[in-house]
Amino acid sequence: MQLEQFSAQIRSHRNIVFFTGAGISTESGVPDFRSPGGVWTKYQPVYFQDFLASEAARIQHWRLKKATYELFKTVKPNIGHHAIRDFEHRGQLLGLITQNIDGLHKLAGVTDEKLVELHGTDRLVTCLKCGKRFAPADVYESLAEEFSAPTCDACGGFLKSANISFGQQMPAEPMRRAQIWTEAADVFIVVGSSLQVQPAASFPVIAKRNGALLAIVNRDETPLDNIADYVYHGGIGEWFGSNNSTRC
């Protein structure tokens, strides 16, 4: 399917679901943490079980998150984030499922009603015991060069960034909403995901099996390119900028 045909298909449908990964945010200056020079080359990710069991692991978690906090203070949504928001404004967005924890879709203006952050967010800190929420600045700005892992001022429980860590159970409600949207989609558009991480990478397959038109927009090839109706390899912003159907 050519771009013109795909654009015509988008214009004729209302139940469009977007599924986004790291590739949409790298163009805002958010690095892929797995890449050379990324945060994970300096700080190894902390497994959830280790976070619960070890003060050293909790401190490691906060050092990694402080590094990403400093980055996230400055990054802004790009043309891709804004284009997806515009689908909501036009009444075409059934839902947006993102693997990203940078919060840029919310900053672009996508509403909570239309957004599922599968892996949580780094723009919120929560208490694992009582659930109290904290603004990131209130926690990160208090961390000196040497520090103890922060605890809740209400119950003394461990504080943790609100992303889903390795080994931590995926939250049931976001997964349920994502499943419902995926099964109901007329068009399912993958943007900037390598489609390597499960269970999230199964959603495009489910959408396709339920009759959705499947499109994949990513700089590199993905394992699902062969089942997609439309595939684009290149820059995300470049694609949104050239696709008239993504503009108001």
In tens, the pLDDT along 69-120 reads 888 888 999 999 999 999 999 999 999 999 999 999 999 999 999 999 999 9
Q: What is the DSSP letter of 158?
A: B
Lowest mean pLDDT among 56-65, 126-135, 234-243: 234-243
Is pLDDT at 1 greater than 80 in this prediction?
no
Single out the catalytic residue among 13, 81, 119, 233: 119
Give percent of the chain with pLDDT exceeding 70.
Answer: 93
Q: What angle do CA 52, 56, 62 make, to 5 degrees?
A: 80
pLDDT at 8: 83
* pTM assigned to the model: 0.91
Specify the pLDDT at position 54: 96
Single out the residue of 18, 40, 30 nearest to residue 166, CA to CA. Answer: 40
Alpha carbon separation from 243 to 54, 79, 85, 106, 111 (Å, rounded):
50, 12, 15, 23, 23
Domains and CATH numbers, the chain: 1-30+75-119+170-248 (3.40.50.1220), 31-74+121-163 (3.30.1600.10)
Give pLDDT, residue 29: 87
Q: 117 — phi, psi (to 5°)?
A: -95, 95
> How far is it, in rounded angstroms, from Cα 188 to Cα 182?
7
DSSP letters, 84-145, are HHHHHHTT-EEEEEE---S-HHHHHT--GGGEEETTEEEEEEEETTT--EE-HHHHHTT--S
Q: What does the pLDDT read at residue 39?
A: 54
Residue 35 binned pLDDT confidence (cut-offs 50, 70, 90): low
Is 81 an annotated catalytic residue?
no
Lowest-confidence segment of 35-44, 51-60, 121-130 by average pLDDT: 35-44
Other C-beta atoms lying within 10 Å of the C-beta of residue 135: 11
| Mean predicted lDDT score pLDDT of the chain | 90
